[in-house]
A and B are shown apart, each in its own frame.
Chain A
């Protein structure tokens, strides 16, 4: 059973550019969530996808958008990058049988915006 995998692991962008981050969920998991973790802070919920539909969103502007594909993999897109978008972006997956908040996290994509 493979875990949650994310790509790329590291990337550097400049302010105003756009970025796409990718996530493959754990086998059998149909729900994918994205979190932003700034340096030295706890992860913050961005949004969640279930059956290819957005199923809840945190306090992030519309330039943060996402997709979920039929195989349950997902993308996070961020437009018009700002310096404060520099962070570790974590993808987490869960299944209908997951207990409450039992999420399985990938190792993250570290984004640096210059």
Chain B
């Protein structure tokens, strides 16, 4: 079964610190790797995404690093803020499979003031 494995399950970071979440995938047909942010009682919201033809993408305080040969990608949250406290999901999809998302298990991030 196609899987996306995500770690850690949870992390605590001080305000201003860096949060790092890692994901690994198996299916080499995946060609789109988004990260979603989910607050309690809300649906997931797209945060940032990357395609395998680039190794890094940065949007504000959020950066995706992508290692195609290792089949791994990670999310870095710089200068973490209490408002960043949420659950983060990595995901992967492929055009060939109709862009259906396969999600990781999620990482609960708590940013302490």
For chain B, residues 21 to 56, give those with C-beta under 8 angstroms from any C-beta of chain A.
31-32, 34, 36, 41-46, 49, 51
Residues of A within 8 A of B104 (CB): 42
Give CA–CA (A33, B101) in the complex, Å.
Answer: 10
Are B99 and A94 in contact, CB atoms less than 8 angstroms apart?
yes
A22-53 CB contacts (< 8 Å) to partner B: 33, 35, 40-45, 48
Chain A at the B interface: SS class: loop
B43 lies within 8 A of A48 (CB): no
Asked whether, in the complex, the Cβ of B32 is within 8 Å of the Cβ of A101, the reply is: yes
Q: How far is the CB of A76 from chain B (nearest CB, A)?
A: 14
Residues of B within 8 A of A43 (CB): 44, 89, 101, 103
Say whether A106 faces chain B, with CB atoms less than 8 Å apart.
Answer: yes
Are B46's CB and A104's CB within 8 A?
Answer: yes
The tally of CB-CB contacts under 8 A between chains A and B is 69
Contacts of B106 in A (CB 8 A): 40-42
CB nearest neighbor in B for A91: B43
| B93 contacts across to A, CB distance below 8 A | 100-101
Residues in B56-104 with C-beta less than 8 Å from chain A: 89, 91-93, 95, 97-104
Q: With A and B bound together, what is the CA distance between A102 and B99 in angstroms?
A: 9
A41 touches B101 (CB 8 A): no
Cross-chain contact A33 with B49 (CB below 8 angstroms): no
A100 touches B49 (CB 8 A): yes
Q: Which residues of B contact A (CB under 8 A)?
A: 1, 6, 31-32, 34, 36, 41-46, 49, 51, 89, 91-93, 95, 97-106
Interface residues of A (CB under 8 A from B): 4, 33, 35, 40-45, 48, 55-56, 58-59, 90, 92, 94, 98-108
